């Protein structure tokens, strides 16, 4: 897991330095219809976050654009910021290079592709409804984007490669990093002497979550050795009598731990061993348990005012997290969609 975290950081650093982020944003804005300003922000946020694998990075890239659209169109700043946060949480939950997805897959022992398919079909209705809500809110006005919107399709290529080639995560990330470095060199975005600096910066950006994962794993092992996890597991199991109950227990566990830690990756790493035991005991498939862990921890992360995502969006738009939360439709709808799937479909 730690090696994949570092590989994801290397790719993120390389592709950002090669101009991939800016090109991807400009490409989306260039093809955006005039009456879909707010809905377009959500759609672009979905694409960028699923490509980058980071919700905070997506918010950092798009929040200034959201502020500019609000200034030019008169749309409430909170709506535009909410669209960005919703789009960012979409990819944070689904992207194969997201640390939350990696943690969920590794702790539950399932294949990345299986988890993506399981997760995608659950969250798709929530994403469609969210897109409709933002289209309805923003369809009353049009806007004209000013400024330089130049983009290069070749700079978007590493994103597309990583997204489409999602088979072996570690290998794909390494190849995507090399491809980004070649694109950056070929387009003159950086020199050969600087390219490893950008890769190193990306790796360092994953340092905290890597160390935290190791420490949390050590703590969980000690807790398990002294009976703590068994106590929590028995407490949850005593209230579970079916597969449906097991899935509800995993969902509640992920949400509650995220609310306490304000970090959905840490929440998944902490809750993962317990969720694994529940899934084995009550016949929950690994891909379903991984999806539930990822969805409901991301749901909490997209709604708590002290989470990094809302704090970043608020600081970049001059708002407070509480002003943005009413427009965070997607995290809430994602949780509702997850509950519906639990009740209507328990086994594959």
Q: How far apart are CA 3 and CA 9, in angstroms?
A: 10
Which residues touch 104 (CB under 8 Å, ≥6 apart)?
Answer: 115, 268, 272, 290, 291, 293, 294
Q: How far apart are CA 62 and CA 70, in angstroms?
A: 12
Q: How far apart are CA 290 and CA 112, in angstroms?
A: 10
Instruction: Look at the pTM and tell me if it is higher than 0.85.
Output: no
pLDDT tens string 287-316: 999 999 999 999 999 998 888 888 888 887
User: What is the reported pLDDT for 265?
Assistant: 86
pLDDT tens string 7-59: 777 887 887 788 876 676 677 667 766 567 788 889 888 888 887 777 877 88
* pLDDT higher than 70, residue 347: no
Q: Are 293 and 250 in contact (CB under 8 A)?
A: yes
User: What is the reported pLDDT for 63?
Assistant: 81
**DSSP string over 275-324:** HHHHHHHTT--HHHHHHHHHHHHHHHHTT-TTSHHHHHHHHHHT--HHHH
Which residues touch 63 (CB under 8 Å, ≥6 apart)?
Answer: 81, 84, 312, 313, 316, 317
Q: How far apart are CA 342 and CA 253, in angstroms?
A: 15
User: What is the reported pLDDT for 114?
Assistant: 87
Q: How far apart are CA 15 and CA 4, in angstroms?
A: 16
Residue 140 — pLDDT band, cuts 50, 70, 90? low
Query: 74: alpha, beta or left, given left = phi > 0 and alpha = psi -120 to 50?
Result: left
pLDDT tens string 3-14: 776 777 788 788
Longest dimension (CA), the chain: 62
Angle at 254 between CA 301 and CA 92, to 5 degrees: 40
Residue 325 — pLDDT band, cuts 50, 70, 90? very high
**Closest alpha carbon to 1 in 163, 209, 258, 308:** 209
User: What is the reported pLDDT for 198?
Assistant: 86
User: What is the reported pLDDT for 35?
Assistant: 66
Q: Where are the beta strands (DSSP E) in 143-220?
A: none
Q: Are 340 and 295 in contact (CB under 8 A)?
A: no
User: What is the reported pLDDT for 55?
Assistant: 84
């Amino acid at each position: 897991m730690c090696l994949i975290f570092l590989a994801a950081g290397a790719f993120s650093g390389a592709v950002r330095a090669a101009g991939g982020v800016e090109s991807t944003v400009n490409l989306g804005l260039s093809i955006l219809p005039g009456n879909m300003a707010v809905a377009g922000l959500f759609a672009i946020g979905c694409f960028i976050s699923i490509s980058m694998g980071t919700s905070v990075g997506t918010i950092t890239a798009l929040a200034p654009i959201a502020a500019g659209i609000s200034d030019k169109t008169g749309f409430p700043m909170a709506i535009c910021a909410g669209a960005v946060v919703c789009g960012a949480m979409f990819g944070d939950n689904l992207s194969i290079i997201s640390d939350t997805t990696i943690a969920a897959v590794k702790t539950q022992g399932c294949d990345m592709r299986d988890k993506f398919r399981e997760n995608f079909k659950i969250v798709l209705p929530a994403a469609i409804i969210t897109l409709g809500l933002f289209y309805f809110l923003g369809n009353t006005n049009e806007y004209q984007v000013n400024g330089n919107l130049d983009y290069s399709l070749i700079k978007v290529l590493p994103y597309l490669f990583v997204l489409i080639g999602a088979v072996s995560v570690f290998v794909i990330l390494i190849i995507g990093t090399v491809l980004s470095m070649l694109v950056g060199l070929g387009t003159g975005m950086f020199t050969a002497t600087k390219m490893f600096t950008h890769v190193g910066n990306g790796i360092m950006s994953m340092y905290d979550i890597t160390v935290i994962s190791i420490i949390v794993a050590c703590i969980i092992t000690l807790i398990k050795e002294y009976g703590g996890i068994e106590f929590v597991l028995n407490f949850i199991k005593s209230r579970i009598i079916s597969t449906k109950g097991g899935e509800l227990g995993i969902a509640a566990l992920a949400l509650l731990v995220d609310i306490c830690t304000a970090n959905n990756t840490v929440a998944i790493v902490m809750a993962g061993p317990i969720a694994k035991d529940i899934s084995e005991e009550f016949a929950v498939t690994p891909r379903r348990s991984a999806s539930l862990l990822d969805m409901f921890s991301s749901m909490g992360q997209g709604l708590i005012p002290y989470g990094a995502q809302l704090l970043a969006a608020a600081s970049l738009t001059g708002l407070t997290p509480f002003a943005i939360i009413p427009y965070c439709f997607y995290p809430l709808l994602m949780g509702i969609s997850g509950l519906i799937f639990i009740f209507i479909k328990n086994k594959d």
